[in-house]
Structure 1
Amino acid sequence: MPPPILHALLRATPSIAPISHRGILSINGSQSTEFLNGLVASSVRKPPQSQFSAILHPQGRVMYDIFLYATNEGYLLEYDARTSEAPPLLAYMKRHVLRSKVKIRSVTDEFDVWSAWGSEADRNLETQRDWLWARSGAVEPIWTGSSNWPWGSQNHVIHDRRAVGMGRRLLVRKGDMPQEATSHDILSSDEYLLHRILLGVPEGTPDILPMYAFPMDSNLDVMGALDFRKGCYVGQELTVRTYHTGVIRKRIFPVIIRNLNTTSHELSPVLFGEHSDIKAVSANTDRQGPRPRGTGKLLSSHGGVGLALLRLEHVAGVEKGDLELKLEVADGDKLSRWSIHPWRPDWWPQDTPPSSEITS
């Protein structure tokens, strides 16, 4: 549950906001479903259906988290178009076409991406989700509250089921406003960033570092992007092996960021650099023994809250009161110090599953 200090940040009114830095690919052709099924980490079946997924490197690292919008002609694929260490997605996918009957082109200049959330209709989209645990700590959502496809079937719209409360994702013709503009508050892209931080949803290159991030560390399993039982796809071997025989040691958590140099409990408006180190230190100065190993990373942040990749053992230590998480930021000749307080959103699965739910 978000701490009480964050309740004022949670918007209770229907809202829409544009999502920046998004690219769109059109993928059409009689073999487009089979083509995508061999490249993405979730099952892509006929007839085409919209969904959230990911494209992995052969070594199992994440290159792109993506949304697939099913259309009458094939698919529209939405991704983070910012330059990163991952290969440009259009060129990467074209290299895999070979003799497949598939046509791929960029249509980024034809669409804008928006998010809509907070309306009664959005709340009605939420159906019950149960959780299937693996011994590694990987977790999958099981949609049990409806027989309908959880990501929706409306053209150019996806039910954003990555987290309870995310609402809907909309593709809108470039320059047009969503039809919800007449009934929703129109917010900025920064307000969308705040919305997903408060719900614990990582997205794009700032949070899921291309060519470095592992899918389960980045909560892609919890958000429904991975199918651990489908056939061969790029990056499958390490992902499935981790699921069955590995151990998940890190997760992305939402965090509160407080200045240690002041006694104020207000949230800070400071903008932090991405991927700053977060160190775990003992909360007890008399504690003996080795220092906590490893560090975390601050990812996206806005208005005193953020997302951070943290070691699960560090989070457990903070929750027990044994450890504290600290961040140091250089500002010229000065060094400011910040405390990091993680929390678990309401919609997350239980921390410890019943033994009957654990799969081998």
Structure 2
Amino acid sequence: MTIYLRADRAVFRFSGPDAHKLLNDVVTGHIPAGDSDIAAWWALLSPQGKILAEGLAGWAQDALWLDVHQSVADDFLKRMKMYRLRAQVVIDDLRETHRAGFATEAQAGAISHADRLGPARLGWRVIAPVEAIGDWVADDAAYRAARIAAGMAEQGADFPANDAFAHDIGLDILDGIDFAKGCYVGQEVVSRMKHRGTARRRPVIVSGIDAPAGTSVIAGGREAGTIGQVVDGKAVAILRLDRITDPAAVTVDGKPVTVALPDWAPYAFGETVPDEE
């Protein structure tokens, strides 16, 4: 079975008796506590609730294996070392020794986890030492196309660090937030948005694009957001739903495009939310 190299991902391993507690106390998601073939989605937030890093966490070989976008890897490592304090946790930076990949099935001889909990999944995340990836396909277009078709926004490709709230990318819907656990960094903002229903921006699939990532999406003469990474004329855009009152009249770079909601979306075009106090 083919494995596609995701060269833009950085791999970290958290081990030790306090590894689960550290991550569970700091990031948004439900962190696996033992053997599981599913990797949970999570985000590290700023105190103001903005996403600083996001990725998957899966348990294997007595450790938690996380991946983040290369652009935020240094900051993620620095912050996690700061939060570690005196906890008994070893944080291994595996950027030089391991790689992350994508496959449609679990892979024997590698660390394989189903890509996230929740109502939508993207095949399997695979992690292996660099010496074992010789037959991996270097182009990850298959992953990018699957991600966009599923309407899943991704840091680095669709939004930068410290730009989006957790609700903006659907973390609350796709089980990337554990609402049953205690406090974590940025938890107050996440809880307020959940209970007040103030999430204005959500992932939308945009098709028929002839423009680069970062181009504005115009609806009703107003900017609703920008498109993310474009693959075969499609992209995920994090858009203001209230500004898309006529989905048939949306343009990108002056040209008409088609907008659609992900299959997992409980939200709707034209939806309005209360103002923050």
Corresponding position of 1:53: 42
Deviation for aligned residue 1:155: 6.9
Q: Is residue 15–residue 89 contact of structure 2 (8 Å, CA) maintained in 1?
A: yes
Q: Could you tell me which of 81, 84, 94 is aligned with 1:107?
A: 94
1:177 aligns to 2:123 (yes or no): no
Structure 2: which 5+ runs fail to align?
269-277
**Pairing of 1:298-309 with structure 2 (within 5 A):** 298-309=227-238
Please tell me whether the aligned partners of residues 37 and 45 of structure 1 are also in contact (alpha carbons under 8 angstroms): no
Q: How does 1:1-360 map to 2 (within 5 A)?
A: 16-44=3-31, 46-47=33-34, 50-82=39-71, 88-117=75-104, 156-161=111-116, 164=120, 166-177=122-133, 186=137, 188-258=139-209, 268=210, 272=212, 274-281=213-220, 294-318=223-247, 321=248, 324-328=249-253, 337-345=254-262, 347-351=263-267
Query: What amino acid sits opposite 2:152 in the alignment?
Result: V
Instruction: Give the superposed CA RMSD.
Output: 2.7
Query: Separation in 2 of the partners of 1:208 and 1:59?
Result: 17
Partner-residue secondary structure (3-state), 1:247: coil
Give the aligned length: 264
Partners of 1:29 and 1:101 within 8 A in 2 = yes
Distance of 1:201 and 1:246 partners within structure 2: 21
TM-score (norm 1): 0.66
The Cα of 1:106 is off from its aligned counterpart by 0.4
Q: CA deviation at 1:76?
A: 1.8
One-letter code aligned to 2:219: A
Residues in 2 aligned to 1:110 and 1:206: alpha-carbon distance in whole angstroms: 24
The alignment-based identity, stated in percent, is 24
- Which consecutive unaligned segments of at least 5 residues does structure 1 have? 1-13, 123-153, 259-267, 282-291, 329-336, 353-360
Aligned partners of 1:255 and 1:294: how far apart in 2? 14
1:312 offset after TM fit, Å? 1.1
My pick for the range that moved more, 155-164 or 198-207, is 155-164
Is the 2:4–2:142 Cα contact (8 Å) retained in structure 1? yes
Larger radius of gyration between Structure 1 and Structure 2:
1
Letter in 2 for 1:91: K
How far residue 327 of structure 1 moved from its aligned partner, in angstroms, is 2.3
